[in-house]
Amino acid sequence: MIKLPGLIDPHVHLREPGQTHKEDWDSGTAAALAGGVTMLLAMPNTKPPIFDAGTLDLALTAARSKARCDYAQYLGAGPDNTEWGNQADLPQKAAGLKMYLDSTFGQLRLDDMTLWQQHFMQWPKELPLVAHSESRSMAAVILMAAIYDRPVHIAHISLKEEILLIKAAKERGIKVTCEVCPQHLFLTRDDIPAISQGHPGRGEVRPRLATREDVEALWGNLDVIDCFATDHAPHTLAEKDGENPPPGFPGLETLLPLLLTAVEDGPLAFAQGRRLTMDDIIQKSVTNPRRIFSLPEQPETWVEVDENANYELHADEMKSRCGWTPFEGWKVRGRVRRVMLRGKIAVEDGKILVQPGYGQNVRGK
Ligand code: NCD
Ligand code: ZN
């Protein structure tokens, strides 16, 4: 048995308000705990999107009565909410500001680069600013971080050109940090047929699965990666297999087993020769996210893992409401046996033992 600190996932979609048939604050935080995640930051591309005091209140009211693990909620950058200086303490009540600069699920995409600049200038420098920006828009975001001399965190990087540019920017003292998701570490576009099972929508995710060369560049530059994040993006199988399938993979319950398996002599193709250490997992899933997002420590909180348990990942054993996983049937090593959260047993042998409402808003004071 090994003991890890509770993991922090800085990138989770919980779908409440508005699309609770996919997930809600109860099912999503249960899935988090089952995966060893004791604190998560929830994304704002809900229905309605979270972009002002009223919509933030909608999300936080649901969270207060339903969340089982600790959390904070992001605000989204829109065309009409750049005046953060006139918003009293609204920014402080959020996990951070999320900017959607490339197309994805939801209505929050910002195309006008002058609006990007406004948010960069007006969002308080000491609070987290996260960008969904791929490829060349990521280069523009890093330039803005340099121009306005403020930190920026790049969500879910997936490409060789991205990790190399972030590395160069860090070497020059630009305040950029980044996260990588398991799907971009363990899957390439060659895996899409196996994931799809004849339903191409299942392989849709943003950023798209990349090439083997991209994946190898991520493994080859692990020290440039600040955080692991799931980008848990649940959609039901009916939606994934229907017309206009929405992009997104669930990930909360597969994160830790995949990472732990990559610590072993890897059955996972890309782990070979580039193994993770336990210290990598703790740094990128606890220490770094806590520092980058200014999150509090969670006292009496830990995850007990049976490091020798070999088993297969199956969606029908998971808590997420979406009912599928791109890692179905994968053989992994390392199972969460127990999770303690602030002195209470939160999970034991697959059972969630803390009630909805036990979770605390870490930006609540
Ligand atoms: C996310 C979703 O479904 O909310 N989808 C995805 O493919 N990652 C949106 C996002 O994170 O861009
Ligand atoms: Zn996301």
Q: CATH no. for residue 236?
A: 3.20.20.140
Q: Which domain holds residue 58?
A: 2-352
303, 336 Cβ separation under 8 angstroms: yes
Length in residues, the chain: 365
Ligand 1 site-directed mutation target among 12, 19, 22, 45, most atoms within 8 Å of CB: 45
Q: What is the CA radius of gyration of the chain?
A: 19
**Within a domain: 138:** yes
Reported as a pLDDT band with limits 50, 70 and 90, residue 108 is: confident
Mean pLDDT over 232-249 rounds to 97
Which of 128-132, 275-279, 315-319, 334-338 is predicted least confidently? 275-279
The CA distance from 218 to 224, in Å, is 9
292 alpha carbon to ligand 2 midpoint, in Å?
Answer: 18
Identify the pLDDT of residue 104.
81
105 alpha carbon to ligand 1 midpoint, in Å?
Answer: 5
Identify the pLDDT of residue 267.
45
Q: Treating both helix axes as pointing N-terminal to C-terminal, what angle do 53-66 and 25-34 enclose, rounded to 10 degrees? A: 60
pLDDT at 269 over 70: no
205 alpha carbon to ligand 1 midpoint, in Å?
Answer: 7
**Within a domain: 213:** yes
**Within a domain: 314:** yes
**Within a domain: 8:** yes
pLDDT at 16 over 90: yes
- The tally of domains found in the chain comes to 1
**Within a domain: 91:** yes
The CA distance from 170 to 272, in Å, is 27
206, 102 Cβ separation under 8 angstroms: yes
Closest to 47 in 3D by CA, of 62, 68, 31: 62
Ligand 1 site-directed mutation target among 104, 109, 153, 204, most atoms within 8 Å of CB: 104
pLDDT digits (tens, 9 = 90+) for 142-189: 999 999 999 999 999 999 999 999 999 999 999 999 999 999 999 999
Q: Which helix (H) or strand (E) holds 61?
A: helix 53-66
pLDDT at 200 over 50: yes
233 alpha carbon to ligand 2 midpoint, in Å?
Answer: 6
Ligand 1: residues whose CB is within 6 Å? 13, 45, 104-106, 132, 205-206, 231, 233, 246-248
**Within a domain: 362:** no
Mean pLDDT over 221-249 rounds to 97
**Within a domain: 365:** no
Closest to 223 in 3D by CA, of 183, 292, 297, 171: 171
pTM score of the predicted model? 0.97
**Within a domain: 286:** yes
Report which bound ligand comes closest to the CA of 231.
2
DSSP state of 71: E
Q: State yes or no: cis peptide before 17, omega within 30 of 0.
A: yes
Reported as a pLDDT band with limits 50, 70 and 90, residue 270 is: low
